[in-house]
Structures are given as C-alpha cells and as structure tokens.
Amino acid sequence: GDQVEQSPSALSLHEGTGSALRCNFTTTMRAVQWFRKNSRGSLINLFYLASGTKENGRLKSAFDSKERYSTLHIRDAQLEDSGTYFCAAEAFSGSWQLIFGSGTQLTVMP
Amino acid sequence: EAGVTQSPRYAVLQEGQAVSFWCDPISGHDTLYWYQQPRDQGPQLLVYFRDEAVIDNSQLPSDRFSAVRPKGTNSTLKIQSAKQGDTATYLCASSFSNNQDTQYFGPGTRLLVL
C-alpha cells in the first residue's frame, strides 16, 4: 500500500485565511521534504525536516517521526500561493528513497 | 548558483520510438535521481546514482529504460521503445550526500507517447 498518504487532495482558501496540509506515513520515516510546484512545473523546495518544526514566512512545517505524520501550515494565504504541494518522506526500501504523496491542489481565491 | 537543468522540455513520440532525456545536476552534487511523474500523481523514483555508480535501479523497467552517468556529472535517461503508458513528466533531481540529502529538482521533461 501507499506509504505516504497526503490530504486533502484539493483545498480552496480565501485570501488572508489559513489551513493545514497533512501527510501520514505507514512506517517510520527518516525525514520529510515539502515542495510546491511552480507555474513552470518545477518542484520548489519549501522545507526539509528530520524532526521538529521549521517556519519560513507564512509557512510552517512540523514532522513527528514517532507519530508518523508531517504537516504544512499556511497562514494569511495569498493568490500566489496557489499551486500543487507535495510532501515526500525518506524511507528505506533497499536504499534510502523519497516517497512522495499524491499532492494537494491549493486554490487561493480573492 | 545554477539549478538542475534538463532537456528537452517536451517530447512527443509514436509508440515504438526511442527518446533520450538529459540532466545536468547542480555543480558539486554527487547524487543524481531520475523520477517519473504520471499526470496527477507524485513523482516515483526510477533510478539514482552516487557519482557514476548506480545505487538503486530496482524500479527502472530494465527491458526498455536505461540510465547512465559515466563521469559522475551529467546523466542520460533513455527509453528504447516507448509505450503509451510511459506518458509522464520525467524529473531529474540532485543532492549532496551529507546528513541532509535535500533534493533539488529540475523543470522536467514532459513526454507524450501517442
């Protein structure tokens, strides 16, 4: 089965509001990365976490390997935050690999 | 610092044709990854290298796909006889193998097999 379950698959927010994306893991992961797909289709690094929390501007991420989840919080959403967000966790499957979630399509509305 | 570059950006093929994708990683990054991303899914690892050595190619369909990184820098991914099911975006990423293997992705090659 899927090792990384990302939710929600789609999310709509009004400008200025906030919400959270979540990834649950079926096994212990070494670290997690969060990405956003930009308008050109490139995956842009948002965070790398081996534990704890990190914050960057209006984004904050947390990773709890013991409880097997990671979250990405967006506050004061802006129109330019729209896009697809992916979490990816480091799992051992013969070698250490990034296992991606299926993505969250975020739409920020005026 | 230049990011990961890939070419071509787009490719359209008929079934049975061959295609090669090229990747230039970030300078100094010893690890290079190739991913396949079908539409509306997350990327899935195909193969990765540390320097010129293949570390894991267990998810690379070896009958039609091949990947090389002969000098431990640039890499080429080749599909020998494309099938419609190969339609996807092919992403290259690179990282430096210290304790924090943060991967940096290129823009990808969007492949359509008709």
| Domain coordinates in residue numbering, chain B | 5-113
Q: What is B5-113's CATH superfamily?
A: Immunoglobulins (2.60.40.10)
Q: What percentage of residues in chain B have a pLDDT greater than 70?
A: 96
Q: Amino acid identity of A90?
A: E
Q: How far is Cα A104 from Cα A83, in angstroms, rounded to an integer?
A: 8
In the predicted structure, residue B98 carries a pLDDT above the cut 70: no
Query: CB within 8 A of B74, min separation 6: which ones?
Result: B22, B23, B24, B25
Residue B40: band (very low, low, confident or very high) from pLDDT cuts 50, 70, 90: confident
Q: Which residues pair with A60 in a beta bridge?
A: A55, A73
The class of domain A4-109 in CATH terms is: mainly beta
Q: What percentage of residues in chain B have a pLDDT greater than 90?
A: 82
Residues B42, A101: C-beta atoms closer than 8 Å: yes
* Cβ pair B9, B107 in contact under 8 A: yes
* pLDDT reported for residue A46: 96
* Cβ pair B48, B32 in contact under 8 A: yes
Residue B100: band (very low, low, confident or very high) from pLDDT cuts 50, 70, 90: low
Task: Quick: pLDDT tens for A42-64.
Answer: 899 999 999 999 999 999 999 99
Measure in Å the smallest separation between the Cα of A102 and chain B Cα atoms. Answer: 5
Residues B100, A50: C-beta atoms closer than 8 Å: yes
Task: Quick: pLDDT tens for B70-94.
Answer: 998 999 999 999 999 999 999 999 9
* pLDDT reported for residue A92: 86
| Chain B residue nearest residue A100, CA to CA | B42
| Chain B residue nearest residue A31, CA to CA | B100
Q: Closest to B43 (Cβ–Cβ): which among A31, A50, A100?
A: A100
* pLDDT reported for residue A43: 92
Which residue from A21, A30, A27 is spatially nearest to A4, judged by alpha carbons? A27
* pLDDT reported for residue A29: 93
Using a CB–CB cut-off of 8 Å, the residues of B that contact A are 33, 40-45, 48, 55-56, 58, 89, 91, 93, 100-108, 110
Please report which helix (H) or strand (E) contains residue A69, including its range. Answer: strand A69-74
| Chain A residue nearest residue B47, CA to CA | A97
- Per-domain residue ranges for chain A? 4-109
Q: Which residues pair with B54 in a beta bridge?
A: B49
Strands across the sheet containing A19-25: A4-7, A19-25, A69-74, A59-64, A52-56
